Amino acid sequence: MSPYTRREFLKTSLAAGTLAGVGALPLQAAQNAATEVVTLGKSDVHVTRLAFGTGTNNGYVQAALGQKDFTRLVRYAYDKGIRFFETAESYVTPAMLGEALKGLPRDSYHLMSKVTTDRGVDPKVRFNEMLSTSQTDYFDIMLLHWQHTADWASETKRWQDGILEAQEQKTIRARGASVHGLPALRQMAGNAWLQIAMIRMNHNGTRMDGPTYADNDNPGSVPEVVAQVQQVKQHGLGVISMKLVGNGNFTQHSDRQKAMRFAFKDAGVDCVTVGFKNTQEIDEAIDNLNLAMA
């Protein structure tokens, strides 16, 4: 993202037109939309609409900041009202995020991680390692990471059972999966095990789901992705979206605005995760989401 200030946002004609069309109470609601707390389907987990993602290029973008500047960035987001943080076991950032969040009241934010569903690995051992790395007693959300085949639901049964056991022990509060490709996405609606679905989303299909799990641009598949999101929600799942900046390809601010509005207004997702590397990007994402919900 390019540097972008709140003052510049308020000067845009689009923002001016939006603000002129609402009264005091709707405006206040719109200004707080990014940090408003929403419930993820039937999971009983309540998170802010905007999540701080730490997986840009598998987290190397965030890791390049170094611990001190990364911690400063996380605390900036926290002070701005973002209380939902996302990482994954396969990223290089879980330990850095754990360090950055250390000292903050654990019940004041939500932490989501994603587990690689390796064969020959004991899920209980893996989850204990992840808890230790993240310096936490529990994860609010645990997702099966990068599910990309049509048979993922049957192939990950051992991991699903491991998450259910962890939920009984209260080291994981809610469960779900992140998918890549239409064959995997089509298995989400009606899946009784799922509580939360993580689905790629933007307005022009950049790095979104297509006929295979290949990380390509698939503009022609956008209508089906949106339809799948709506089916998933009808089945009571919470929906978290990623790729709101096209994996960094949206260099124009207008595209980032369109992607945010599309995710919430057209697809109807519950919340989104965006990877940040500076405070300007955080400010812009907050403003973009507020504008999208105005």
Q: Which of 56, 112, 58 shows the shortest CA–CA distance to 83?
A: 112
Per the document, the length of the chain is 294
Residue 184's pLDDT is what?
98
Asked if 3 contacts 280 with a C-beta cutoff of 8 angstroms, the reply is yes
Task: Name the pLDDT band for 29 (thresholds 50, 70, 90).
Answer: low
Q: Is the pLDDT of residue 227 over 90?
A: yes
pLDDT in tens, 232-286: 999 999 999 999 999 889 999 999 999 999 999 999 999 999 999 999 999 999 9
Strands 46-48 and 37-39: antiparallel
pLDDT in tens, 81-110: 999 999 999 999 999 999 999 999 999 999
Distance, CA of 242 to CA of 43 (rounded, Å): 19
Task: Name the pLDDT band for 8 (thresholds 50, 70, 90).
Answer: very low
Catalogue the E-assigned strands of 70-195.
84-86, 110-115, 139-147, 172-179
Residue position matching structure tokens 């260099």 = 251
In percent, the amount of the chain with pLDDT more than 90 equals: 87
CATH 3.65.10.10 fits 47-293, yes or no: no
In three state form, how does the secondary structure of 212-243 look?
A: CCCCCCCHHHHHHHHHHHHHHHHCCEEEEEEC
Residue extents of the structural domains in the chain: 47-293
Q: Is the pLDDT of residue 18 over 70?
A: no
Type of residue found at 122: D
Residue with the bigger pLDDT between 60 and 31: it is 60
Classified as helix, coil or strand, 122 is coil
